[in-house]
Amino acid sequence: MIDAQLDLGFRPVERAAPRRLTAAEIAHYNAHGYVQPFDIFGAGEIAEIRAYVDGLMAAMGDRGAYGINCYQARLAGLYDIATDPRIVEHVADIVGDDVLCWATAVLSKAPHDPKQVPWHQDASFWKLSPARTVTVWLAIDDADAANSTMRFIPGSHDKGALAVRGTGADSVFHQETADAEALGAPFTNALRAGQISLHADMLVHGSLPNRSDRRRCGLTLRYCPPEVRMTDPKWAAGVEAILCRGDPGDWTVHPRPENDDITATSSPHVVGNN
């Protein structure tokens, strides 16, 4: 499963008979690198998910806001969200009928959180090739410009790996996409709680400090087709994929865990923030 180098080029989606996305939505994804919003969970369902996520964060203490990474094969609740057919059917229209989830993360910005997530391309941090991961961002809370929802730079997903530069102390990453402003005007990824967006792994995106009195919590879910390979054995050792649909190919996949106590397990790997 190990390739010698990364292919970070974008391949346009070709889906003859999509099940959830329209042809126009697929064309938007191809042109801009993202598509949104989609209603997935109703008010009652997302309230239950929010209570579940709040419980995980409380159990993690100070690490809860940004430390719940890659537990999809270790916590039954996260496994169930990641494999929910309503989400997976949207993803399948982009990646194909064989769908793996290889990472998840709870990302919670408290009111007046001063940290920003700088402009970046997700796949530049990963050891996966080719770049075919689709990230689902599930809004646990209402997310808008005021409480620092994600921002995308449309059309930046098909430019390959862009130059980077160092960042300051107010950033959660040590580097950022250089001169991202020159790529175009940002799009604000506003979502109501229970809605999702989908974006390509090379799309430049980030988020500003949360200067509001409202929390902004989301759950990211990373999906890819089995044609994707891990190019670094050390990095691969920390990835625990689950099969959401179809054939896993050469990937090792994990069954639904019986455990749902985050204090009884640990994360195998830490992957990125948004």
Block mean pLDDT (10 aa), the chain, length 274? 68 92 97 98 98 97 90 98 98 98 96 93 93 98 97 97 86 86 96 98 96 97 97 92 98 98 88 50
CATH of the domain at 167: 2.60.120.620
* Amino acid (1-letter code) at residue 111: P
* Residue 78: inside a domain: yes
**Which residue range(s) make up the domain with 152?**
30-257
* Cα–Cα nearest to 218, from 157, 153, 160, 272: 272
What pLDDT shows up at residue 202? 97
Q: What total number of domains does the chain contain? A: 1
Sign of the CA dihedral running 142, 145, 149, 154: positive
* Residue 269: inside a domain: no
* Residue 267: inside a domain: no
* Residue 231: inside a domain: yes
Q: What pTM did the predictor assign?
A: 0.95
* Residue 3: inside a domain: no
Tell me the C-alpha to C-alpha distance, in Å, between residue 249 and each of 100, 206, 224, 225, 243: 10, 32, 12, 9, 10
* Residue 88: inside a domain: yes
CB 40 within 8 A of CB 34: no
What pLDDT shows up at residue 274? 52
What pLDDT shows up at residue 1? 32
* Amino acid (1-letter code) at residue 189: N
Which residues face 138 on adjacent strands? 196, 219
What pLDDT shows up at residue 271? 52
* Residue 268: inside a domain: no
* Residue 19: inside a domain: no
Tell me the C-alpha to C-alpha distance, in Å, between residue 84 and each of 47, 87, 202, 216, 273: 16, 6, 25, 23, 22
Contacts of 144 (CB under 8 A, 6+ apart): 188, 190
